Amino acid sequence: MNYKKLLSISFLGLLITNPSSFAEVSVPSVTNLNILSQIASATSFTSNDNNNIDINNVNQSTSSFVSLEELKENVAIDAAALGLTVDEKALTSLTSGGKFSTAGLDNLGDVEGLGLLETPDATPDTYVYDTGLMTLTRDTDYANKNIFSTADGAQQGRIQVFIDFEKKLFWGDVVAYPTVNSNALQNGDKDYANPSLGTAAITSLPVTGNANYTIRYDIDGMTGSVTDDSACGDSSCRTNATTLNMDDGSPNDGDNSNMKKYMNHNGTVSNSGNSFGGIVVHGEFATATVSSDGTATIAFEAADCNGCNDSDFAGSIERWSATGSAAAKKGEGVDLARTQVSNAFASE
Protein backbone atom coordinates (compact mmCIF):
# COMPACT_ATOMS: atom_id res chain seq x y z
CA MET A 1 0.00 0.00 0.00
CA ASN A 2 1.31 3.47 -0.80
CA TYR A 3 -0.10 6.95 -0.66
CA LYS A 4 -0.07 7.39 -4.42
CA LYS A 5 -2.50 4.49 -4.65
CA LEU A 6 -4.55 5.68 -1.72
CA LEU A 7 -4.79 9.07 -3.25
CA SER A 8 -6.20 7.38 -6.25
CA ILE A 9 -8.78 9.99 -2.49
CA SER A 10 -10.96 11.70 -4.77
CA PHE A 11 -8.96 15.12 -4.29
CA LEU A 12 -9.33 17.77 -7.04
CA GLY A 13 -8.25 21.39 -6.48
CA LEU A 14 -9.53 23.80 -9.10
CA LEU A 15 -9.92 27.54 -9.52
CA ILE A 16 -12.97 28.41 -7.43
CA THR A 17 -13.56 31.98 -6.39
CA ASN A 18 -16.18 31.43 -3.73
CA PRO A 19 -14.08 29.87 -0.94
CA SER A 20 -15.77 27.72 1.61
CA SER A 21 -15.33 28.62 5.24
CA PHE A 22 -14.00 26.20 7.83
CA ALA A 23 -17.36 26.27 9.58
CA GLU A 24 -19.97 23.63 8.85
CA VAL A 25 -21.48 23.92 5.39
CA SER A 26 -23.94 21.84 3.42
CA VAL A 27 -22.97 21.26 -0.20
CA PRO A 28 -25.26 19.43 -2.61
CA SER A 29 -23.87 16.82 -4.98
CA VAL A 30 -22.49 18.54 -8.07
CA THR A 31 -23.39 16.82 -11.32
CA ASN A 32 -22.13 19.41 -13.80
CA LEU A 33 -19.26 21.52 -12.56
CA ASN A 34 -18.47 23.96 -15.40
CA ILE A 35 -14.86 24.85 -14.82
CA LEU A 36 -14.78 27.37 -17.68
CA SER A 37 -17.28 29.62 -15.93
CA GLN A 38 -15.14 29.49 -12.81
CA ILE A 39 -11.97 30.37 -14.67
CA ALA A 40 -13.67 33.49 -15.98
CA SER A 41 -13.85 34.84 -12.44
CA ALA A 42 -10.75 33.26 -10.89
CA THR A 43 -8.56 35.52 -8.79
CA SER A 44 -5.08 34.01 -8.49
CA PHE A 45 -2.39 34.15 -11.15
CA THR A 46 1.27 35.02 -11.58
CA SER A 47 3.24 37.72 -13.29
CA ASN A 48 4.40 36.97 -16.84
CA ASP A 49 7.99 37.69 -15.80
CA ASN A 50 9.48 34.44 -14.52
CA ASN A 51 13.03 35.67 -13.96
CA ASN A 52 14.39 34.94 -10.47
CA ILE A 53 11.05 33.75 -9.11
CA ASP A 54 10.97 32.37 -5.57
CA ILE A 55 8.16 30.62 -3.73
CA ASN A 56 7.17 33.74 -1.80
CA ASN A 57 6.40 35.56 -5.02
CA VAL A 58 4.82 32.78 -7.04
CA ASN A 59 1.18 33.35 -7.89
CA GLN A 60 0.60 36.30 -5.59
CA SER A 61 -0.99 38.71 -8.11
CA THR A 62 -4.74 38.89 -8.42
CA SER A 63 -7.19 39.90 -11.08
CA SER A 64 -10.93 39.97 -11.48
CA PHE A 65 -10.64 38.02 -14.73
CA VAL A 66 -8.39 35.22 -15.92
CA SER A 67 -8.86 33.78 -19.40
CA LEU A 68 -8.15 30.17 -20.29
CA GLU A 69 -4.96 31.15 -22.08
CA GLU A 70 -3.80 33.25 -19.13
CA LEU A 71 -4.46 30.34 -16.81
CA LYS A 72 -2.36 27.99 -18.92
CA GLU A 73 0.44 30.54 -19.13
CA ASN A 74 0.43 31.10 -15.38
CA VAL A 75 0.45 27.37 -14.64
CA ALA A 76 3.47 27.01 -16.93
CA ILE A 77 5.28 29.89 -15.20
CA ASP A 78 4.64 28.52 -11.72
CA ALA A 79 5.63 24.99 -12.76
CA ALA A 80 8.95 26.26 -14.11
CA ALA A 81 9.61 28.28 -10.95
CA LEU A 82 8.93 25.25 -8.74
CA GLY A 83 10.80 22.73 -10.86
CA LEU A 84 7.60 20.88 -11.78
CA THR A 85 6.19 19.76 -15.11
CA VAL A 86 2.87 20.86 -16.61
CA ASP A 87 0.30 18.06 -16.73
CA GLU A 88 -1.43 18.94 -19.99
CA LYS A 89 -3.98 16.14 -19.63
CA ALA A 90 -5.04 17.34 -16.19
CA LEU A 91 -5.09 20.98 -17.28
CA THR A 92 -7.30 20.20 -20.26
CA SER A 93 -9.64 18.07 -18.19
CA LEU A 94 -9.97 20.58 -15.38
CA THR A 95 -10.73 23.47 -17.72
CA SER A 96 -13.49 21.69 -19.62
CA GLY A 97 -17.11 21.43 -18.60
CA GLY A 98 -18.71 18.28 -17.23
CA LYS A 99 -18.86 16.27 -14.06
CA PHE A 100 -16.09 16.85 -11.54
CA SER A 101 -13.77 13.82 -11.44
CA THR A 102 -10.09 13.01 -11.03
CA ALA A 103 -10.38 9.59 -12.64
CA GLY A 104 -7.22 8.95 -14.64
CA LEU A 105 -5.64 12.24 -13.54
CA ASP A 106 -3.76 11.33 -10.36
CA ASN A 107 -0.24 12.75 -10.84
CA LEU A 108 1.20 12.29 -7.36
CA GLY A 109 4.47 10.43 -6.80
CA ASP A 110 6.20 8.44 -4.10
CA VAL A 111 8.06 10.06 -1.19
CA GLU A 112 11.30 8.89 0.38
CA GLY A 113 12.26 9.36 4.03
CA LEU A 114 8.79 8.99 5.55
CA GLY A 115 7.05 5.90 6.89
CA LEU A 116 4.12 4.28 5.09
CA LEU A 117 1.41 6.24 6.95
CA GLU A 118 3.63 9.06 8.22
CA THR A 119 2.91 12.72 7.49
CA PRO A 120 5.08 15.80 8.07
CA ASP A 121 4.18 18.69 10.33
CA ALA A 122 2.53 21.64 8.63
CA THR A 123 4.38 24.96 8.82
CA PRO A 124 3.17 28.57 8.52
CA ASP A 125 4.05 28.36 4.80
CA THR A 126 2.03 25.18 4.14
CA TYR A 127 -1.04 25.70 1.97
CA VAL A 128 -4.18 24.24 3.56
CA TYR A 129 -7.39 23.49 1.64
CA ASP A 130 -10.36 22.63 3.85
CA THR A 131 -13.90 22.07 2.60
CA GLY A 132 -15.39 22.15 6.07
CA LEU A 133 -18.13 19.67 6.90
CA MET A 134 -20.22 18.79 3.83
CA THR A 135 -23.54 16.96 3.68
CA LEU A 136 -23.69 14.22 1.08
CA THR A 137 -26.70 13.48 -1.11
CA ARG A 138 -27.61 10.29 -2.93
CA ASP A 139 -26.37 10.02 -6.50
CA THR A 140 -29.41 9.15 -8.61
CA ASP A 141 -27.21 7.66 -11.34
CA TYR A 142 -26.53 4.81 -8.94
CA ALA A 143 -28.82 2.23 -7.31
CA ASN A 144 -31.05 2.98 -4.36
CA LYS A 145 -30.61 -0.02 -2.04
CA ASN A 146 -31.59 1.64 1.26
CA ILE A 147 -28.13 0.93 2.69
CA PHE A 148 -27.52 4.45 3.96
CA SER A 149 -29.82 6.45 6.23
CA THR A 150 -31.82 9.18 4.52
CA ALA A 151 -32.21 11.29 7.67
CA ASP A 152 -31.17 14.94 7.35
CA GLY A 153 -27.40 15.28 7.77
CA ALA A 154 -26.90 11.54 8.19
CA GLN A 155 -24.14 11.37 5.55
CA GLN A 156 -21.36 13.92 6.02
CA GLY A 157 -17.71 14.28 5.17
CA ARG A 158 -14.78 16.67 5.06
CA ILE A 159 -11.58 16.93 3.06
CA GLN A 160 -8.53 18.81 4.29
CA VAL A 161 -5.44 18.89 2.10
CA PHE A 162 -1.94 20.14 2.90
CA ILE A 163 0.58 21.09 0.19
CA ASP A 164 4.15 22.20 0.82
CA PHE A 165 5.15 23.52 -2.60
CA GLU A 166 8.74 24.17 -1.56
CA LYS A 167 9.28 20.58 -0.38
CA LYS A 168 6.85 19.23 -3.00
CA LEU A 169 4.83 17.28 -0.41
CA PHE A 170 1.10 16.45 -0.36
CA TRP A 171 -0.94 14.92 2.47
CA GLY A 172 -4.38 15.30 4.00
CA ASP A 173 -7.55 14.01 5.60
CA VAL A 174 -10.49 12.24 3.97
CA VAL A 175 -12.91 12.34 6.87
CA ALA A 176 -16.09 10.25 6.70
CA TYR A 177 -19.18 10.54 8.90
CA PRO A 178 -21.41 7.86 7.34
CA THR A 179 -24.65 6.51 8.79
CA VAL A 180 -25.67 3.03 7.67
CA ASN A 181 -29.11 1.66 8.45
CA SER A 182 -28.75 -0.78 11.34
CA ASN A 183 -27.66 -4.33 10.61
CA ALA A 184 -25.90 -7.18 12.40
CA LEU A 185 -22.64 -5.19 12.70
CA GLN A 186 -23.81 -1.58 12.79
CA ASN A 187 -26.34 -0.06 15.17
CA GLY A 188 -27.41 2.80 12.90
CA ASP A 189 -25.40 5.54 14.65
CA LYS A 190 -23.27 8.04 12.75
CA ASP A 191 -19.71 6.78 12.38
CA TYR A 192 -16.35 8.57 12.08
CA ALA A 193 -13.30 7.55 10.05
CA ASN A 194 -10.10 9.48 9.38
CA PRO A 195 -7.16 7.14 8.76
CA SER A 196 -3.70 8.45 7.96
CA LEU A 197 -3.14 8.13 4.21
CA GLY A 198 0.56 8.89 4.32
CA THR A 199 2.38 11.45 2.18
CA ALA A 200 2.86 11.83 -1.57
CA ALA A 201 5.11 13.95 -3.77
CA ILE A 202 3.74 16.59 -6.12
CA THR A 203 5.30 16.21 -9.55
CA SER A 204 3.38 18.63 -11.73
CA LEU A 205 0.76 21.35 -11.99
CA PRO A 206 -2.20 21.18 -11.72
CA VAL A 207 -1.97 19.03 -8.58
CA THR A 208 -4.49 16.20 -8.69
CA GLY A 209 -4.97 13.18 -6.49
CA ASN A 210 -7.57 10.69 -5.32
CA ALA A 211 -7.75 7.93 -2.73
CA ASN A 212 -10.15 5.44 -1.26
CA TYR A 213 -10.41 3.12 1.72
CA THR A 214 -12.96 0.70 3.16
CA ILE A 215 -14.64 1.07 6.56
CA ARG A 216 -15.23 -2.34 8.11
CA TYR A 217 -16.44 -3.33 11.57
CA ASP A 218 -15.05 -5.44 14.43
CA ILE A 219 -12.02 -6.89 12.61
CA ASP A 220 -8.44 -7.73 13.65
CA GLY A 221 -9.44 -7.81 17.32
CA MET A 222 -10.64 -4.18 17.24
CA THR A 223 -14.08 -2.97 18.24
CA GLY A 224 -16.12 -0.66 16.03
CA SER A 225 -15.13 0.79 12.67
CA VAL A 226 -11.70 -0.05 11.26
CA THR A 227 -10.14 1.29 8.05
CA ASP A 228 -9.22 -1.53 5.69
CA ASP A 229 -7.90 -1.84 2.13
CA SER A 230 -9.90 -1.02 -0.97
CA ALA A 231 -9.33 -2.31 -4.49
CA CYS A 232 -11.72 0.17 -6.06
CA GLY A 233 -10.36 2.38 -8.83
CA ASP A 234 -10.25 6.15 -9.17
CA SER A 235 -13.36 8.02 -8.05
CA SER A 236 -15.78 5.08 -7.94
CA CYS A 237 -16.01 1.30 -7.61
CA ARG A 238 -17.76 1.16 -10.95
CA THR A 239 -17.14 2.64 -14.41
CA ASN A 240 -20.82 2.50 -15.31
CA ALA A 241 -23.96 0.63 -14.26
CA THR A 242 -22.71 -2.66 -15.77
CA THR A 243 -18.91 -2.42 -15.31
CA LEU A 244 -16.88 -2.61 -12.11
CA ASN A 245 -13.87 -0.34 -11.60
CA MET A 246 -11.54 -2.48 -9.50
CA ASP A 247 -7.85 -3.38 -9.62
CA ASP A 248 -5.81 -6.40 -8.59
CA GLY A 249 -4.54 -4.86 -5.36
CA SER A 250 -5.48 -5.89 -1.84
CA PRO A 251 -7.96 -7.29 -0.97
CA ASN A 252 -8.70 -8.51 -4.50
CA ASP A 253 -5.36 -10.08 -5.34
CA GLY A 254 -6.70 -10.80 -8.80
CA ASP A 255 -10.21 -11.77 -7.70
CA ASN A 256 -13.00 -9.16 -7.66
CA SER A 257 -15.10 -11.38 -5.39
CA ASN A 258 -13.02 -10.29 -2.41
CA MET A 259 -13.75 -6.57 -2.77
CA LYS A 260 -17.36 -7.37 -3.58
CA LYS A 261 -17.62 -9.15 -0.22
CA TYR A 262 -16.08 -6.16 1.57
CA MET A 263 -18.78 -3.74 0.39
CA ASN A 264 -21.78 -6.06 0.09
CA HIS A 265 -24.75 -5.54 2.45
CA ASN A 266 -26.98 -8.33 1.16
CA GLY A 267 -28.72 -10.47 3.74
CA THR A 268 -27.18 -10.78 7.22
CA VAL A 269 -23.80 -9.01 7.23
CA SER A 270 -20.86 -10.60 9.05
CA ASN A 271 -17.11 -10.90 8.72
CA SER A 272 -17.55 -14.22 6.99
CA GLY A 273 -19.70 -15.31 4.10
CA ASN A 274 -20.38 -12.99 1.18
CA SER A 275 -21.50 -9.76 2.89
CA PHE A 276 -19.02 -7.99 5.16
CA GLY A 277 -21.13 -4.79 5.30
CA GLY A 278 -18.28 -2.37 4.57
CA ILE A 279 -18.37 1.16 3.14
CA VAL A 280 -15.92 2.43 0.52
CA VAL A 281 -14.90 6.06 1.05
CA HIS A 282 -13.57 8.03 -1.92
CA GLY A 283 -11.80 11.38 -1.76
CA GLU A 284 -10.74 13.60 -4.69
CA PHE A 285 -8.89 16.90 -4.84
CA ALA A 286 -7.19 19.21 -7.35
CA THR A 287 -5.70 22.70 -7.46
CA ALA A 288 -4.46 24.49 -10.56
CA THR A 289 -1.38 26.17 -9.12
CA VAL A 290 0.13 27.91 -6.08
CA SER A 291 -2.45 29.78 -3.98
CA SER A 292 -5.35 29.02 -6.34
CA ASP A 293 -8.34 27.52 -4.60
CA GLY A 294 -9.30 23.87 -4.79
CA THR A 295 -12.26 21.59 -5.33
CA ALA A 296 -12.80 18.35 -3.44
CA THR A 297 -15.27 15.48 -3.60
CA ILE A 298 -16.03 12.90 -0.95
CA ALA A 299 -18.23 9.88 -1.64
CA PHE A 300 -19.52 6.76 0.11
CA GLU A 301 -20.33 3.55 -1.78
CA ALA A 302 -21.77 0.18 -0.79
CA ALA A 303 -23.71 -2.55 -2.61
CA ASP A 304 -26.51 -5.04 -2.06
CA CYS A 305 -26.43 -8.03 -4.39
CA ASN A 306 -27.01 -11.76 -3.87
CA GLY A 307 -24.58 -13.99 -5.76
CA CYS A 308 -24.16 -11.43 -8.50
CA ASN A 309 -21.75 -11.47 -11.41
CA ASP A 310 -19.59 -8.36 -11.84
CA SER A 311 -22.06 -6.64 -14.15
CA ASP A 312 -25.05 -7.02 -11.83
CA PHE A 313 -22.94 -6.09 -8.81
CA ALA A 314 -21.96 -2.80 -10.50
CA GLY A 315 -25.64 -2.06 -10.93
CA SER A 316 -26.31 -2.66 -7.23
CA ILE A 317 -23.90 -0.02 -5.91
CA GLU A 318 -25.43 2.86 -3.94
CA ARG A 319 -23.45 6.13 -3.82
CA TRP A 320 -23.68 9.33 -1.79
CA SER A 321 -21.40 12.28 -2.55
CA ALA A 322 -20.68 15.97 -2.04
CA THR A 323 -18.40 18.38 -3.88
CA GLY A 324 -17.18 21.64 -2.39
CA SER A 325 -14.63 24.38 -2.87
CA ALA A 326 -11.69 24.92 -0.57
CA ALA A 327 -9.91 28.26 -0.26
CA ALA A 328 -6.11 28.15 -0.27
CA LYS A 329 -4.90 29.40 3.11
CA LYS A 330 -1.44 29.26 4.63
CA GLY A 331 -1.14 27.75 8.09
CA GLU A 332 -1.17 24.55 10.07
CA GLY A 333 -4.80 23.58 9.47
CA VAL A 334 -6.97 21.65 11.92
CA ASP A 335 -5.65 18.66 13.86
CA LEU A 336 -8.35 16.03 13.23
CA ALA A 337 -8.35 12.80 15.22
CA ARG A 338 -7.04 9.71 13.45
CA THR A 339 -8.87 6.40 13.59
CA GLN A 340 -7.75 2.78 13.80
CA VAL A 341 -6.60 0.84 10.74
CA SER A 342 -6.45 -2.87 9.95
CA ASN A 343 -3.26 -4.89 10.01
CA ALA A 344 -3.34 -5.13 6.21
CA PHE A 345 -3.83 -1.40 5.74
CA ALA A 346 -0.90 -0.60 8.03
CA SER A 347 1.51 -3.00 6.39
CA GLU A 348 0.81 -3.30 2.67
Question: pLDDT tens digits for 323-340?
Answer: 999 999 999 999 999 999
Q: What is the mean pLDDT of residues 9-15?
A: 39
Q: State the average pLDDT over residues 70-99.
A: 87
Question: What range defines the domain where residue 316 resides?
Answer: 3-347
Looking at residue 9, what is its pLDDT?
A: 39
57 in Cβ contact with 72 (< 8 Å): no
Instruction: Examine the pLDDT at 26 and tell me if it is beyond 60.
Output: no
pLDDT tier at 70, thresholds 50, 70, 90: confident
pLDDT at 15 over 60: no
pLDDT of residue 254: 82
Q: How confident is the model at residue 14 (pLDDT cuts 50, 70, 90)?
A: very low
pTM value is 0.84
The vertex-211 CA angle with 205 and 212, nearest 5°, equals: 165
How does DSSP assign 8-49, residue by residue?
---EE----SSPPPSS----PPPS---HHHHHTT--EE--S-
| Number of domains present in the structure of the chain | 1
